Amino acid sequence: ETANLTELCPVEGYSLGQVWWNVQVTHYYNTRHGRLCHFVIPQYNIHGNHLIGSSKVEPYETTPSSCRDDSHPFEMYIYHGSLGYFSFYEEPIGTYCAEDRTAYIVSHGFGTYDINGPSLVEDTGSTSYRKSYWYATTGALWVVYRGLVLRRSFIICKRYARRCSNLGVSLRRKEAVVYVHEQLRLTAHGATKLHRVALLYLLIEGLMGDLFLLIANNGLLSKIQYVSLGYNLSGLLLVAFEIIESTNWLRERTRVFIKRLLFCYESSLLGEIVGAALQQSFLTRLNGSRALKKSNHVNLAVSHYVWSIVGHSIYVLSVIGFIMLIRSLWTIVYVWWKHRTWSVFTASCCVDTALGKRNKMTLLGGYHWYDGKLYYKPDALRSFGLLKMEGEDGSECLVLRKLHWFAVPRNDLFVIGTVSDDLVKPSNERLCTGIVRFWGQCLGGDVEEAGRRRGTLARSTSK
C-alpha cells in the first residue's frame, strides 16, 4: 500500500557503519507482525524492508542524546545485487529515532544468495538458510590463486636471498621489501589481455564485496575495511594499467611518466590510508547531497541498474581520484626533495625501456640524475632483481627472473638487454647461460645515445 506513506513509514535515513544512508520508502505491507515498509537507496540499487516497533526502548549506542526519550526498536532486511549471479543480504537491528527520522543500527546477520536481476527485485525473502554457490566458487578460486601467488613469491624470494648470501651481498630492508612486492604481482610476465581481463573480473567481485562490507562493520573494523577497499582499488588500477600497457597505445615517455607519477613505491598505500580516514564523512555528504538524496524518480526513469552504475561510479571514481591526487602530490614533493628536478618524470631511461611491462611499480628513490640523464643506482637494480651476465666473449647482459603463473623453474633467468658501458640496449628474451652476479655500477641514460655516450657515470661514484 502507499496511502499516507510518509506518516506511516517516516524513516528518511539510517546510520550504519558510521555513515548516514539516504532512504526512500516506496510502499508498505500490513502484516500480523506489524507494518513492513519497503525502501530503496536509489543510487546504489539497495532494496529492503524495515519494521518499527511501537514501544519505546533504550537507544542504540550511536544514537545522539536528543533521541534518548524517543527511540523505538528497529529491524531491517536489505539486499544488493553484485556483478555475478549472486546478491548480498544483511539483517541489521537497532533503534529508530522519531526526532530526526533516522535509524541507528548495527549488522546482525550477513550472507549471500544465488539470485540477481528481476528475480531479486521480486524476492519476498525466506525462512530457510540461503547460500551462494557462485560466491563460494569465485571466492575459493580467488583464495587458491592468491595462495599460489604467495607460494611462488616465497620460493623466488628464498632463492634470491640464497644468491645474495652466496655472493656476499646484503640487502637493505627497503630493497628487500621492493623485491618481495615485485614477486607478488598478480599477473605473470607475458600474460595475455584475456588473462588480465579474467583477473580484473575477480578484482571487481572482491571490490563489490568490499563496498557492501562497508556497512557491515563499525569502529576500527570499518576503518580497516576502507583501507582494504583502497588496496583492492589499487590492485584493480594496476591491472587496468597493465591492460593499457599491453595495447601499446602509449608512447614510451607517456608510459613511464604515468608509472613514475602514480605507481611508485614511495607513495604506495599513502592515498589509501588517508582516504580511509576521510571516506566515512565523504560518503555521508555524498548520500545527503541534493543530487542523490531524493533521486528515486530518476532511478525509476532510467532503471535501477543504470542509476546504480551511476551512483557506484560517482563513489568509486571519487575514491580513485582522491587516491591518485594524494599519490601525485606526495610523488611531486618527493621527487623535488630527492632530485631537485622535474625531469625525472619524463626523462628516458634505457633500463626502464628494457624492463618494459615486467616491473609492477617504480622506485623513484632508486634513480640517479646525472649530467641530464636518468640512471638506476646499484641498489635499485638489486631491488628489481636485475643481474649481470658475463658472456664467454666478455660481453655483458642485463638479466631478470621471469615470473610464471604458478611454476618456479630452476632455469628462470632470462636476458632482456645487452650492456655497453653503462647503457642498456633492449633485446629479445633468451635464456641466461652464463655466470651471473650483481651490478656494482649505475646503468641508464638514453638508449638512442648508445653510440655517443661512453661510461662516464660508470666511473663516477655511485650514490
Looking at 404-447, list the stretches that DSSP marks H as alpha helix, in order from N- to C-terminal side.
Answer: none
Looking at 80-192, list the stretches that DSSP marks H as alpha helix, in order from N- to C-terminal side.
Answer: 118-121, 133-166, 173-183
pLDDT bracket for residue 60 (50, 70, 90): confident
- On whether the CB atoms of residues 50 and 74 are closer than 8 A, the answer is yes
Over residues 201-230, the mean pLDDT reads 83
Cβ contacts of 106 within 8 Å, gap of 6 or more? 16, 60, 62, 92, 93, 94, 218
Angle between helices 252-262 and 220-246 (to 10 degrees): 170
- In the numeric block, which cell numbers belong to residue 118? 528481476
Q: What is the dihedral of CA 199, 203, 205, 210, to 10 degrees?
A: 170
Query: Any idea which of 121-130, 226-235, 394-403 has the lowest mean pLDDT?
Result: 121-130
| Number of other residues whose CB lies within 10 A of the CB of residue 178 | 27
The per-residue pLDDT for 461 is 40
| Number of other residues whose CB lies within 10 A of the CB of residue 373 | 22
Quick: pLDDT tens for 130-160. Answer: 889 999 999 999 999 999 999 999 999 999 9
Cβ contacts of 17 within 8 Å, gap of 6 or more? 107, 214, 215, 216, 217, 218, 222, 280
Q: Is the pLDDT of residue 123 over 80?
A: no
- On whether the CB atoms of residues 80 and 213 are closer than 8 A, the answer is no
Q: Across all residues in the chain, what is the average pLDDT?
A: 90
Strands 87-97 and 102-113: antiparallel
Long-range pairs of 290-298 with CB within 8 A, sequence gap ≥ 24: 292/22, 292/42, 292/43, 293/22, 294/22, 294/24, 295/42, 295/43, 296/24, 296/26, 296/40, 296/42, 298/42
Quick: pLDDT tens for 355-414. Answer: 999 999 999 999 999 999 999 999 999 999 999 999 888 889 999 999 999 999 989 999
The per-residue pLDDT for 447 is 67
Rounded distance, CA 416 to CA 429, Å? 5
Query: Any idea which of 233-242, 258-267, 379-388 has the lowest mean pLDDT?
Result: 233-242
Quick: pLDDT tens for 277-307. Answer: 898 999 999 999 988 988 888 988 888 888 8
Share of the chain above pLDDT 90, in %: 62
Maximum C-alpha span of the chain: 91
The per-residue pLDDT for 454 is 45
Host H or E run for residue 418:
strand 413-420
Rounded distance, CA 274 to CA 321, Å? 13
The per-residue pLDDT for 457 is 47
Beta bridge partners of residue 97, listed in sequence order: 71, 102
Cα end-to-end distance, the chain, whole Å: 76
Among 189-193, 305-309, 330-334, 459-463, the range of highest mean pLDDT: 330-334
Number of H helices, E strands in the chain: 13, 16
